[in-house]
Homo-oligomer: A and B are copies of this chain.
Amino acid sequence: MANRRETPVTSDADSPQPDEFAFIRRHFKQLAGVEALGLTDDAALFTPKSGHDMVVATDTMVEGVHFLPDDPPETLGRKLLRVNLSDIAAMGAQPFGWLLALACPRGPGHIARDDAWYAAFAAGVAEDQARFGVTLLGGDTTSTRGPLVMSLTILGNVAPGAALRRNGARHGDGLWVTGTIGDGALGLLALRGEIPDPDGWLADRYRLPQPRLGLMLSGVANAAMDVSDGLVQDAGHLVRESGVGVVIDADSIPLSAAARASGAAAGRFTGENLTTFCATGGDDYELLLAVPDSASERLLESCRLTGTPISRIGRFDSGVSGARLARADGSDIPLERHGWSHM
């Protein structure tokens, strides 16, 4: 794509290699799978997995919005990959490959990362690629006069009929969630120095969410999604798409020991305040599932096999409107916000 106000490529060699291509070769070629054709063609080429359907999703992270300007490059690419892997997990699919579009800051007013920064970025991603069994298929790098913008597109495979949707929750289904909720939102506060985080556990959870891949959810969950914008708000998506309300038992929401300790130490988040902050904080990337009681045992068994923490935190109820956060006595906890919007 032509870049009108950028670098002309001069003729100091017979076959000039513009900076962009050297940049890609230096940092990203090591990540490329065979389908990427060496990152030298116009597109990647692959044979879809036989007898499978495919899923595809894209998620963007913008500097100053989704991450801090001084977030370490070692974890930034890994987080971008993981939030996309979390979308694949939410569909009950297996990830296959990904594409990356980078708009890199140039010029005054924004942080221009140096080569070492991108090398660390790529090294981090390489580690997670191996961990999650995916490879880079392609991408695009360009410059911008604004903050760093990173868009990742991910592809995955799923057996026909096995994909999980948001619209299948039914009256009586249990509402389940993996892992713990609120650590990511608290981790951001910790990184800002607003709450203590003695061993850095909360910051780690903010920087490296854990995509919940590998669970056997087909025939177990009636609906699924990943929690990214706040538990209550995202439960509202299941409610809206499924046409059935849900009551979330506030006391059942799984909070980490670090969340409880840091909240208490800061004096700012205790009891119901901590719960509501965590339930509306976002950045969790845990799975939210609607599971009929008849399948609870199979869900628990799959979680045991994969070492995935899981909690039952509520019940879908056709007599309820929306997603309600309830106290033990059944009364609603009033919320100032339900989650976060990107726009």
Is A219 in contact with chain B by the CB < 8 A criterion? no
CB within 8 A of A18: which of B10, B15, B93, B229?
B229
Q: Mark A115-148, 1 if CB is under 8 A from B, else 0.
A: 0000000000000000000000111111111110
Q: Are B188 and A18 in contact (CB under 8 A)?
A: no
Pair B321/A66 contact, Cβ less than 8 Å: no
| A283: interface (CB < 8 Å) | yes
A241 sits at the interface (CB 8 A): yes
A221 to chain B, nearest CB (A): 13
Contact of A43 among B93, B106, B143, B334 (CB under 8 A): B93
| Nearest CB of B to A317, in Å | 13
| A158 beta carbon closer than 8 Å to chain B | yes
Count class of interface residues, chain A: 35 or more
Q: Indicate whether A11 sits within 8 Å of B343 (C-beta atoms), given known contacts A43-B91, A65-B144.
A: no
Question: Is A42 in contact with B1, judged by CB distance below 8 angstroms?
Answer: no
Whether A4 touches B340, Cβ cut-off 8 Å, given contacts A40-B237, A65-B144, A90-B43, is yes
Residue of B nearest to A148 (CB): B146
Q: Which of B2, B45, B62, B185 contacts A142 (CB 8 A)?
A: B62
Provide the bound-state CA to CA distance between A194 and B104, in Å: 29
Q: How far is the CB of A110 from chain B (nearest CB, A)?
A: 7
- A282 interface neighbour in B2, B54, B100, Cβ under 8 Å: B2
For A340, the chain B residues whose CB sits under 8 A away are 2-4, 6-9, 18
8 Å CB interface, A163-209 against B: 163, 165-167, 184-185, 188
Contacts A15-B236, A59-B101 known; 8 new A-B pairs at CB < 8 A: A6-B341, A18-B343, A20-B341, A42-B226, A43-B56, A46-B56, A60-B102, A103-B149
